[in-house]
Amino acid sequence: MTFKHYFQFIGLVIFAIVLYRIDINKSLEIALSANVFIIFLSLLLGIPAIILRNIRWQKLLKNEGVNIPFMESLFIYFYAVFWGAITPAKLGELVKILFLNKKHISWGKSAASVIFDRLFDMVTILLLGITGVLLFFKDINGITYVLTAMLGIIIIIILIFVLNKNILKKVLFKILKKLAKRQESITHSKIQDIAEKEIDDLFASFKKPTILIIQNLLITLVAWGFYFFQLYLLTVALNLKIDLLTAFLIAAIITSLNLIPISISGIGTRDISLIFLFSQIGLSSPEAISFSVLILFTFFVNSLFGWLCGFFIEKNPLKVRPSNVS
């Protein structure tokens, strides 16, 4: 394994250190005393959030001239959630590109819809995270500047990545190269030619109607609202004394920090962030960890459902049916 592979597991190391330094029994006691019915309601809120994101993706697909049945794309989206949960920065959600390509949709059109779909989530949560930091820390101090700078740097990196044609071409080339290992007929030069053409198609798709961008931004914000309220219900289930606005600010901060690719499902980064944020409002480390454990539990349930959707897709003949492409 190379250094970049080890880098992805820094979060696990942080999590191990956190567990070593806190009262684990107290955390488990708090978590096990949670209201099961409220947790169930919280889990249900994850469904409309994904449905809204699928509506957003449908709009992006139609903008590319691609028509896929709503329920079929919804199953694919839930399956992508599974892969996103087990990969750093949720990069596994790009698996949607593979499903679109299997349906005879070009890499350029597939990548354009999926990349834009992911960018709506990433950019909005980063902006919400910065807003959360500024509002949560009423007194502007060093940590506020540091966190805000970190989030700002991430946004700049994303923009550079998206706008740089050569970087995207190299990334797509690596993806195609890995996928082509199973197809001996595809040569190195052919992969290079495919990458050149598809990146040109991708950049041709970068211009989006203003109304589409506004609609999808609104959809994204409502979807995040469902997710934030989902986390707020978990604080209610644990009987934590956190008001709705504070819970939303904390949710925005920890979710944006999860984009840093040093952990899987936010393990480690979320825990240490919650301990710090909870300390600012008079809550203990065991309470922070119990809350983090419940968040991880919701990830696990959503991922399990996503895996089941993937199993259905693999067995269902809809998967190989070509979609209508204008």
- Pair 115, 175: CB distance under 8 Å: no
CB atoms within 10 A of CB 25: 9
Residue pLDDT, tens place only, 276-299 = 899 889 999 899 999 999 998 888
Between 184 and 100, the higher pLDDT residue: 100
Selection from 61-75, 211-225, 260-274 with the highest mean pLDDT = 211-225
Q: What is the pLDDT of residue 140?
A: 57
Q: What is the pLDDT of residue 12?
A: 66
| pLDDT reading at 188 higher than 60 | no
Q: What percent of the chain has a predicted confidence (pLDDT) above 70?
A: 65
Q: pLDDT band for position 326 (50/70/90)? A: very low
Q: Where are the beta strands (DSSP E) in 26-134?
A: 66-67
Helix (H) and strand (E) counts in the chain: 15, 2
Query: What integer is the mean pLDDT of 177-204?
Result: 56
Between 20 and 59, the higher pLDDT residue: 59
Q: pLDDT band for position 192 (50/70/90)? A: low
Between 147 and 61, the higher pLDDT residue: 61
DSSP codes of every residue in 182-193: T-TTS-HHHHHH
Query: What integer is the mean pLDDT of 190-210?
Result: 63
Q: What is the pLDDT of residue 63?
A: 84
State the burial class of residue 217 (Cβ atoms within 10 Å of its Cβ: 0-12, 13-18, 19+): middle
| pLDDT reading at 2 higher than 50 | no
Q: What is the pLDDT of residue 106?
A: 72
Q: What is the pLDDT of residue 61?
A: 87
Q: pLDDT band for position 39 (50/70/90)? A: very high
- The mean predicted confidence, pLDDT, of the chain is 77
Task: Write 22-28 long-range contacts (CB < 8 A, 24+).
Answer: 22/275, 22/285, 22/286, 22/289, 23/285, 23/286, 24/289, 26/284, 26/286, 27/285, 27/286, 27/287, 27/289, 27/290, 27/293, 28/290
Between 59 and 187, the higher pLDDT residue: 59
Q: What is the pLDDT of residue 116?
A: 83
- Pair 85, 92: CB distance under 8 Å: yes
Question: What is the C-alpha R_g of the chain?
Answer: 21
| pLDDT reading at 99 higher than 90 | no
Query: What integer is the mean pLDDT of 155-166?
Result: 62
